[in-house]
Structure 1
Amino acid sequence: MADVVNGVLLNTDCIYFKGDLPCLPHKQHGYHCTCPAYQPIEKRILIIKLGAIGDVIRTTPLLHKIRAEYPNAKITWLTLTPAILPKGAIDEILKFDFASVLYLQQLHFDVLFNLDKDKEACALHDSLNATQKFGYTLKNGVAFPSNPLANHKYLTGVFDDLSQANTKPYVQEIFELCGWEFNHEEYVFDNHEDKGYNWNLDRSKPLVGLNTGCGDRWTTRLWSDEKWIRLIELLESNGYQPVLLGGEAEHERNVTLANVTNALYFGYFELPKFINLMYQMDLIVTQVTMAMHIAIALQKKIVLMNNIFNPYEFDLYGRGYLVQPEKQCACFYRGTCKFGVSCMEELPAEKVFEYVRKCLATEDKILQPVV
């Protein structure tokens, strides 16, 4: 039922109505609330997925299913990294702070998905008003499944042996936690092609992006400079153009690699520009890090180097290979190697190159990506 203020009709239940600013149909066409664009909100959906950036990115396939199940819903997403989310696919993106929490506590949601086990996310799950809740709650001050659908994902996060035995990729686990079947829905992501970035790239050669870093939490993932140099030499001598990728933490390494090879290095950038540079590549070589999630989201071919994680966790959507060291890693989810030298040094550059070549030559879906 519409509201009336001083005789003026107001459809405050319309998905476009803002309350503090003119809505988009009014700005574009001068419409008031008797306009043909009126779209009542039939359901309110809240997603709590705070961070890290990679986990936020690989949760976006849920948007396809939510839109299919609730076509006239208003989707709100609460996160620590709002800039990474595709604004056109989500009605309301909120940064996790006091103001957002205060606002959310005054609303009623039809469905709430809390996909984080952080204590603050679980506490918020418990404090909000929603008809259906999925994901994680607080019990005795720690995260706990809010219903049995979350049991599998919960247990693989608290016991290493169950995590190592798991054969479900992360996105499938998240879908099942929400009560749905995963059908390889793609990520929802912005490639930032509309920003007008200009890259001086020779597109006569296949462009192979080399993401040389992996963050500072699990440094057992790192590959040595010698390995990267050897891979660059193999790529160059076989007609590929290597392009070095990374952030500020990788800058010194990438400058060094560029100085001793013919690999291109454009520097490090703010995230949208970095994403767009990755979008220019024909294939990405990376460890398990944010660049891996971006490459999958951009639907790029990928050669993923892995040692300390369960390889089944990563769904490459049939567009790449997951390559591992020649010997089995003994440091599951460890930040430092118990033997002093990471087994990543047992992954030859020749093996990585072979799967770069194989992946770029393959047009069909890759069915067995772990090698």
Structure 2
Amino acid sequence: MKASRSRPIQKILIIRFSSIGDIVLTTPVIRSVKRKYPDAELHYLVKKQFKNVLAGNPYIDHIHVLSEDLQQNIAELKALDFDVVIDLHHNLRTLRVKKALNVRRTYTFAKLNVQKWLYTNFKWNTLPPNSIVERYFEAVKPLNVVNDGLGLDFFIAPEQETKREDIPMGHWMGYVACVIGGSFETKQFPADKWRAFVEACPYPVILLGGPDDAALAAEIKTVDPVKVYDACGKFNLVESADLVRKARVVVTNDTGLMHIGAAFQKKMVTLWGNTTPWLGMFPYYGANNLQTTVSPLFTISEVNGLSCRPCSKIGFHQCPKKHFNCMNQIDVAQLISDVQSFWKD
């Protein structure tokens, strides 16, 4: 039997399948919904490979893993008789889930795909200066859920923390975490730029990324094998997040660990290639937008004025124009200056 609109809210389902950063950006909604409805069960539907992003979140009662058999997921979820469904992904599969569950109180966030298409194809920017987090909150406004301004969450259990001995002794007194990975090559700072950066950086450096970034890390490390510690592929996501948490400064591509860094209120130098912060995925500290940065904890390193940028809201495996000026023209000397300013604060 379907839940009546008049019945107290007892079960809430939030849907966001992927990816790391996008899921972290939903955490203010998770927290605020649970605090508004503390007696309700809060469920979350996510892809298996991203379950660890939420595993330690105390505001979630049940995590459901997206199956290859969507009908199986739907059958299991339907049996739970949800009162509210909050769709923070908004694609064809979430539409199928919502239609099958047939929950009266269903809320979906606005992706602004038309505005993004105009921006990436014609460079006509009609996007708001706000984080995607604010659009998530617009979706739950009918539930009287408001943004508490406390920013993003990422939880690390004590047993998942890295130990001091996991990194070289030369890094124990502080280091710059350099997040070299990224979902697409056009969102990644090039190897020669990283090499120039670590050569000029006066502080110890830890390179963070996955196993796929090993070759890039090895090339960067040759600049100074003592100053640079290659952690790519040696730590899982939560351990890498802990290394971000313990860094003095973070230098990062537009990727998931950037948002985890924001969750820890880290000082960050952010690198932007084919994407721009105007797509709504900039570091979010709880109250900042692109016009009024309340917490000046991060800098935006980008090349403005390029007629080809942004070329995609996601990314490509190589620059469509072959020159990759959006990354190649970023001033390394300015990056060093930004890092030094944050280090001294």
TM-score, normalised relative to structure 1? 0.74
Structure 2 equivalent of residue 132 of structure 1: 105
Contact 1:288 1:306 in 2 (8 A): yes
Contact 2:199 2:223 in 1 (8 A): no
Give the 3 Å change call, closer, same or farther, for CA 192–124 of structure 1 in structure 2: same
Match of 1:61 among 22, 25, 28: 28
Structure 1 equivalent of residue 4 of structure 2: none
Contact 2:189 2:271 in 1 (8 A): no
Residue type of the alignment partner of 1:214: G
Q: Secondary structure at the match of 1:88?
A: coil
Residue type of the alignment partner of 2:182: C
The 1-side partners of 2:58 and 2:110 are apart by 32
Matching of residue 210 in structure 1 with residue 178 in structure 2: yes
Deviations 1:153-179 (A, max 9, x none): 454455436765331211111111221
Segment of structure 1 superposing worse, 335-344 or 248-257: 335-344
Structure 2 equivalent of residue 222 of structure 1: 188
Match of 1:74 among 32, 37, 41: 41
1:270-289 equivalences in 2 (<5 Å) = 270-289=236-255
Matching of residue 92 in structure 1 with residue 57 in structure 2: no
Residue type of the alignment partner of 1:208: V
Alpha-carbon shift at residue 189 of structure 1 (Å): 1.4
Matching of residue 178 in structure 1 with residue 140 in structure 2: yes
Structure 2 equivalent of residue 17 of structure 1: none
The 1-side partners of 2:195 and 2:236 are apart by 26
Question: With CA pairs under 8 Å and 6+ residues apart, which has the higher RCO, 1 or 2?
Answer: 2
The 2-side partners of 1:56 and 1:210 are apart by 21
Match of 1:117 among 67, 72, 90: 90
The 1-side partners of 2:26 and 2:307 are apart by 28
Give the % identical residues: 20
Contact 1:153 1:177 in 2 (8 A): no
Q: Secondary structure at the match of 1:130?
A: coil
The 1-side partners of 2:344 and 2:273 are apart by 25
Unaligned stretches of 5+ in structure 2? 1-7, 286-294
The 2-side partners of 1:79 and 1:152 are apart by 18
1:1-371 equivalences in 2 (<5 Å) = 43-80=10-47, 81-85=50-54, 86-97=56-67, 98=69, 99-135=72-108, 150-151=109-110, 153=112, 155-157=114-116, 159-160=118-119, 165-179=127-141, 180-195=145-160, 197-198=162-163, 199-200=166-167, 201-202=169-170, 205-216=173-184, 219-236=185-202, 240-261=203-224, 262-268=227-233, 269-312=235-278, 313=280, 314-317=282-285, 318=295, 319-325=297-303, 327-328=305-306, 330-332=308-310, 333=312, 334-335=315-316, 336-343=318-325, 344-362=327-345
Q: If each structure's strand is expressed as a fraction of its own residues, which one has the higher value?
A: 1
The 1-side partners of 2:136 and 2:91 are apart by 16
TM-score, normalised relative to structure 2? 0.80
The 1-side partners of 2:155 and 2:242 are apart by 9
Residue type of the alignment partner of 2:338: Y
The 2-side partners of 1:156 and 1:75 are apart by 32
Give the 3 Å change call, closer, same or farther, for CA 120–289 of structure 1 in structure 2: same
Contact 1:304 1:321 in 2 (8 A): yes
Contact 2:198 2:223 in 1 (8 A): no
Residue type of the alignment partner of 2:174: P
* Structure of larger gyration radius: 1
Contact 1:110 1:132 in 2 (8 A): yes
Unaligned stretches of 5+ in structure 1? 1-40, 136-149, 363-371
Matched pairs, number: 303
